[in-house]
Structure 1
Amino acid sequence: MPEPAGRVGEVFRAFLALGLTSFGGPIAHLGYFRNEFVARRRWLDERAYADLVALCQFLPGPASSQVGFALGLLRAGPWGALAAWAAFTLPSALLLMAFALGAAAFDGPLAASLIQGLKIVAVAIVAHAVWGMAQALCPDRPRAGIAVAAVLVVALVGGAGGQVGAILLGGLAGLWLCRDGQGGAGEALALPLSRRTARRCLGLFVALLLGLPLLVWLGASALGLVDAFYRAGALVFGGGHVVLPLLEAEMVQAGRVSADDFLAGYGAAQAVPGPLFTFAAYLGMVTQGGGVATALLALVALFVPGMLLLLAALPYWGELRARPTMQAVLRGTNAAVVGLLGAALYQPVFTAGVIGPTAFALALLGFVLLAVWRLPPWVVVLVCPLGAVLLGL
């Protein structure tokens, strides 16, 4: 059901605040989204949010950005989806484009302390997300066991394969162990999207995936960069850092960007908020003959395939999740998602952010501010880096 047009501005403002403050990578972003749109704004309930996370973990593309896109669609229709994507993505993209234009390198002891403080923010955010989601989605022994098993699968297998495998195994375990679980599938997602539109999105995804390399082969060399970024976005599972090897192959090994420029941009991407996929904007700026237009084109090309697949899946997802068998599967997959968050809380979030007792104390302070004082995440984004700078971490 379409939402009032006035909500587009609401969506844009909410995601712009997150785009300016969401440090810590895709897992931390899911924690930010959960705090803002489930706990605070109550746009949807805990189970519906976990269902979206599970779906986006299955699909290629940037999982956290896909979740944000779906939340915007849910709240304010297609324009809300675009507003959510633009507001969450453009702040970091513009910062990386500025860095590519020759902004001063972010270096020195003060900068190192500030970056360490931002890593501590991610520890507090993810810990709070794990705590809240575990209470809602793992209330009994079977689901708690599935969550722990998911942590073990991720630890033993690693990478995107471990994440997808943990969710698949969690769904199978849910089918076996969670048929009598309490609660339904969460509130219905009133998405203003028809199945006809979903089929068109799937057709467009396939047409671009097959058609772009064909056009390049036929001589449309100007589309080579678009093809490279589109293929990277279409073939990556897990998002975030998983896309880097694909981009390195398409940009460095293909001779479009030097290895030094690639690594410098990757370092800068760690110091900005928002999705790591905005690294594409930097690469578009520094590629041979690149500029602002090329940067924006590369940015869109990397994100589009994941969003098309999400739009193709969402109308069918709503019907599937309402079936009793699927609800049992979802109880298991939702518990597995909690396990994924728990695994990420340790590696890489905790291991990168907590480098000593002082860092642990700051992370604990951030968690208390969120969980006990119930302050918004942006307060933690201010407090933890400032504390890290003052203490000289």
Structure 2
Amino acid sequence: MSLQSQRVLNAIRLLNLFAIFLRLGLTCFGGPIAHLGYFRAEFVVRRAWLTDSAYADLVALCQFLPGPASSQVSMAVGLMRAGLPGLCLAFIGFTLPSAVLMVTFALMLDRVGGLGGAGWVAGLKAAAVAVVCHAVLGMARSLCMEKRTTSIALCAAILAVCLPGSGGQLLAIALGAFAGYVLLHAVTGSAGDPFPPLGISRRMAVGALALFAAGLLLLK
């Protein structure tokens, strides 16, 4: 295959990836938690880019990071599929529709008179509950197949409900990881499903971490 043909194929692949995330950005309603349900249906069930186990690991990792987990998951999947260009296109494709709509609604807000009591907004929120429940049930069938994993999931759910907010979620994930290490280490006996190669060097990863740390120091 010639170099020119390879470039054309790479461009088509990137455009296809952008189109996938643009479609998700146009159709994913309900906020970051609901987005994760849409992502599972797209990347695990429909396209088989990730297994349920790998997707759950990715979501758990992104929950530890600052910012909306759905945006981080979208960028991670884009990175897995097409490297740094894929990461950038995934971020733009997924966030551009909501950014455009937000600016549009902001400009029209005076005429609309507020959206808090709009019936269609309430309908979208109600539908998002069903989407999240469907994703949770689908992951539970694959990840909670015996008593110990089911018990860990139930305890994490109770903790997250009793301690609402990101703090409770992080604590539930951390305690779940510890419980899994203690109770399931001998059962699993494997490292789980590996992620696809990311094409990111250790030097670049360390540089990104240093940049993040520098940003935190500048904010103090």
TM-score of the pair, normalised by structure 2:
0.88
Mapped pair 1:201 → 2:208: yes
From 159, 165, 172, the equivalent of 1:166 is 172
Q: What corresponds to 1:114 in structure 2?
A: 120
Deviation at 1:18, TM superposition (A): 1.1
2:115–2:121: 8 Å Cα contact kept in structure 1?
A: no
Mapped pair 1:105 → 2:112: yes
The percent identity for this pair of structures is 51
Q: What corresponds to 2:198 in structure 1?
A: 191
Deviation at 1:189, TM superposition (A): 2.4
1:150–1:166: 8 Å Cα contact kept in structure 2?
A: yes
Equivalence map 1:311-322=2 (5 Å): none
Mapped pair 1:17 → 2:17: no
- Which one-letter code corresponds to 1:18 in the other structure? L
Structure with bigger RCO (C-alpha 8 Å, 6+ apart):
1
1:5–1:76: 8 Å Cα contact kept in structure 2?
A: no
Deviation at 1:207, TM superposition (A): 2.7
Ranges in structure 1 where 5+ consecutive residues have no aligned partner: 214-230, 232-393
From 14, 26, 48, the equivalent of 2:54 is 48
Q: What corresponds to 1:156 in structure 2?
A: 162
Secondary structure of the structure 2 residue equivalent to 1:208: helix
Mapped pair 1:136 → 2:139: no
> Kindly tell me: are residues 188 and 91 of structure 1, through their superposed partners in 2, closer, same or farther at Cα, counting changes over 3 Å?
closer
Q: What corresponds to 1:93 in structure 2?
A: 99
Ranges in structure 2 where 5+ consecutive residues have no aligned partner: 1-8
After superposition, what is the alpha-carbon deviation per residue over 1:302-321, rounded to whole angstroms, capped at 9, x for unaligned?
A: xxxxxxxxxxxxxxxxxxxx
CA distance in 2, matches of 1:125, 1:170: 24
Q: What corresponds to 2:65 in structure 1?
A: 59
Q: What corresponds to 1:287 in structure 2?
A: none
1:45–1:186: 8 Å Cα contact kept in structure 2?
A: yes
After superposition, what is the alpha-carbon deviation per residue over 1:218-238, rounded to whole angstroms, capped at 9, x for unaligned?
A: xxxxxxxxxxxxx8xxxxxxx
TM-score of the pair, normalised by structure 1:
0.50
CA distance in 2, matches of 1:183, 1:46: 15
C-alpha root-mean-square deviation of aligned residues, in Å?
Answer: 2.2
CA distance in 1, matches of 2:171, 2:127: 28
CA distance in 1, matches of 2:208, 2:74: 18
